[in-house]
Chain A
Amino acid sequence: MTAQSTDIATYNFAYLDEQTKRMIRRAILKGIAIPGYQVPFASREMPMPYGWGTGGVQVTASIIGPDDVLKVIDQGADDTTNAVSIRAFFKKVANVAVTTDTATASIIQTRHRIPEHPLTAGQVLVYQVPIPEPLRFLEPRETETRKMHALEEYGLMHVKLYEDIAKHGRIATTYAYPVKVEGRYVMDPSPTPKFDNPKMHRSPALQLFGAGREKRIYAVPPFTDVVSLDFEDHPFEVQTFDQPCALCAAENVYLDEVILDDHGGHMFVCSDTDYCEKRREEGHRGHLAPETDLAPGNMEPVQ
């Protein structure tokens, strides 16, 4: 990919210089070759603060091409600050098409959700990861955790789950739920709700994880086993909701609680805004959906 002769000439294509992209692509390739293994990389300063997705942005910048269609979501939503800014960033520095439609996107950068619409072969899901080391809060020494990964010493991970059951009577970890990838590395799936863990298992899409501050990249290639850790007598379970989405009546999706007023009024709606809008366009109506739908969809038309 060479620099474009357009009005974005002040930047190299996709912001990062070609040497940096090469370095990141090498880390990505190594990550794909060793599923779940955290590959160190020379994370760059990005024009955004750490914690806002610098890792994911660098991964996206390294793999994006002029023909790609980019979707960015933040907690499932296409219309929050982080998602809007990153989408605008790539529109400006790479002049790529952007979309909110899961099915038409070729690259989906995500913060903490996997879209409800099933991903397909050829799509790439880029996760923004705050803390890539699943053992970090149990073992603070990086030298020791690396050794534990190398020697496959994962008893400690179950100590955390044991503590959950001892304290709460069940595994109370609801997000960043540890998984074992291809029977080898224990991996932090980034703080996605554990509801999304089963979607990672044998997903046809390529999944890349970038942690900018912690300078780590890891990957789950398509059709790779991703198994959530559990106990025989306390098997892994995902969250369930006792009511459907208040706007689109969808069931078996991940819902967000939205506060409506100061008197305890609230509703549960799909956290995946694109999915919810699509369903409402198809005529599905939840019990709180307005008569004429004024949903903020199409806020950024596909270009």
Chain B
Amino acid sequence: MIDEPLLRVSALSKFYGSRVGCDNVTFDLWPGEVLAVVGESGSGKTTLLNCLSTRLLPSSGTASYRMRDGQFRELYRMSEAERRFLMRTDWGFVHQNPADGLRMTVSAGANVGERLMAVGDRHYGKIRATAVDWLSRVEIEEDRIDDEPRAFSGGMRQRLQIARNLVTGPRLVFMDEPTGGLDVSVQARLLDLLRGLVTDLGLAAIVVTHDLAVARLLSQRMMVMKDGRVVESGLTDRVLDDPRAPYTQLLVSSILQV
């Protein structure tokens, strides 16, 4: 039924002067698909994510996105206004540190409602009802709606950030180490929640992580990066169970067994 990808990335490169951020990355992302980008620190994962989400402009290469009307648009040729509109309606960006993605000094309800107000919602009652609904979907008690995120634990902040991003019904979500810095039991619940939401909403997602377990749980497909290049890509289970590139073999065998 789906015969066209959501995002087409072709030969994307980003150089910081003579240093390589990411080099010649090509892939397609299909609707409803979760792609994990794994690799060690400094392998170019975050640079790639920032380029794709247009927070950075690449040095060369193209990325085109299928808009809601079915037309492909070249991301880096869009005006800034269009890109920012896309960012707050059709896309989401979940930061590793929730403080980067939340407004820490306004209430949880306003954090969730901000995107709705940004696209022109002007009915307080409806905005609040939507915020309540979303808070319950990410397992935040309704009576915390008027608390500031500063009063929230790390796990709650991360869940709030996810609610804030998903409230406008995006089709593509970028996640940068969504479980980084959380303890394992909180991580497990967050992953569970994310997996449920992604499946229920049919979201496409690009998840950057150095945690192979996260990649295994969330993603259908993965790319392994090293020194800015993609060294291996394929179905997640295949890559993790039968790694082919020497670097992937090293990565997989480096997982600590408990």
Q: Chain A residues in contact with chain B, CB under 8 A?
A: 138, 147, 151, 153-156, 158-160, 162-163, 165-167, 230-234
Could you say which residues of chain A place their CB within 8 Å of the CB of B113? 159, 162
Complex CA–CA separation, A287 to B81 (angstroms):
58
Instruction: Given A156-B114, A230-B122, output 17 extra A-B contacts at Cβ < 8 Å.
Output: A155-B116, A155-B118, A158-B117, A158-B122, A162-B110, A163-B107, A163-B110, A165-B124, A166-B107, A166-B109, A166-B110, A166-B145, A167-B107, A231-B123, A233-B124, A233-B125, A234-B124
Q: A138, A155, A160, A234 — which one has the most chain B CB atoms within 10 A of its CB?
A: A155
Instruction: Say whether, besides A162-B110, A163-B106, A167-B146, A151 and B81 are in contact (CB < 8 Å).
Output: yes
Could you say which residues of chain B place their CB within 8 Å of the CB of A165? 124
Distance in angstroms from B105 CB to nearest chain A CB is 9
Question: Is the pair B103, A159 in contact by a Cβ cutoff of 8 Å?
Answer: yes
Instruction: Say whether, besides A163-B106, A166-B109, A167-B146, A155 and B124 are in contact (CB < 8 Å).
Output: no
Complex CA–CA separation, A65 to B19 (angstroms):
62
A/B interface sample: 25 pairs, CB < 8 A: A151-B80, A151-B84, A153-B118, A155-B88, A155-B118, A156-B114, A156-B117, A158-B117, A159-B110, A159-B114, A162-B113, A162-B127, A163-B106, A163-B107, A163-B110, A165-B124, A166-B110, A166-B128, A166-B145, A167-B146, A231-B123, A232-B122, A232-B123, A233-B123, A233-B124
With an 8 A cutoff between CB atoms, is B115 at the interface?
A: yes
Instruction: Say whether, besides A166-B109, A166-B146, A231 and B118 are in contact (CB < 8 Å).
Output: no
With an 8 A cutoff between CB atoms, is B182 at the interface?
A: no
Distance in angstroms from B127 CB to nearest chain A CB is 7
With an 8 A cutoff between CB atoms, is B151 at the interface?
A: no
With an 8 A cutoff between CB atoms, is B245 at the interface?
A: no
Distance in angstroms from A264 CB to nearest chain B CB is 34
Kindly identify which residue among B81, B109, B115, B119 contacts A162, using a CB–CB cutoff of 8 Å: B109
Could you say which residues of chain A place their CB within 8 Å of the CB of B106? 138, 159-160, 163
Could you say which residues of chain B place their CB within 8 Å of the CB of A153? 84, 118
Could you say which residues of chain B place their CB within 8 Å of the CB of A231? 122-124
Question: Is the pair B146, A155 in contact by a Cβ cutoff of 8 Å?
Answer: no
Could you say which residues of chain A place their CB within 8 Å of the CB of B118? 153-156
Distance in angstroms from A152 CB to nearest chain B CB is 8
Could you say which residues of chain A place their CB within 8 Å of the CB of B114? 155-156, 159
Complex CA–CA separation, A216 to B128 (angstroms):
36
Q: What 4 A-B pairs have minimum CB-CB distances, sorted nearest first?
A: A155-B118, A158-B117, A231-B124, A155-B117
Instruction: Say whether, besides A166-B110, A233-B125, A159 and B84 are in contact (CB < 8 Å).
Output: no
Distance in angstroms from B13 CB to nearest chain A CB is 27
Distance in angstroms from A156 CB to nearest chain B CB is 7
Q: Mark B77-118, 1 if CB is under 8 A from A, else 0.
A: 000110010001000000000000001001101100111111
Q: Which of B113-150 contact A (CB under 8 A)?
A: 113-119, 122-125, 127-128, 145-146
Could you say which residues of chain A place their CB within 8 Å of the CB of B103? 138, 159
Instruction: Say whether, besides A232-B123, A233-B124, A162 and B117 are in contact (CB < 8 Å).
Output: yes
Distance in angstroms from A178 CB to nearest chain B CB is 13
Distance in angstroms from B243 CB to nearest chain A CB is 43
Kindly identify which residue among A138, A155, A230, A234 contacts B119, using a CB–CB cutoff of 8 Å: A155
Complex CA–CA separation, A155 to B110 (angstroms):
11
Complex CA–CA separation, A89 to B127 (angstroms):
51
Could you say which residues of chain A place their CB within 8 Å of the CB of B124? 162, 165, 231-234
Distance in angstroms from B22 CB to nearest chain A CB is 26
Complex CA–CA separation, A101 to B117 (angstroms):
44
Could you say which residues of chain A place their CB within 8 Å of the CB of B117? 155-156, 158-159, 162
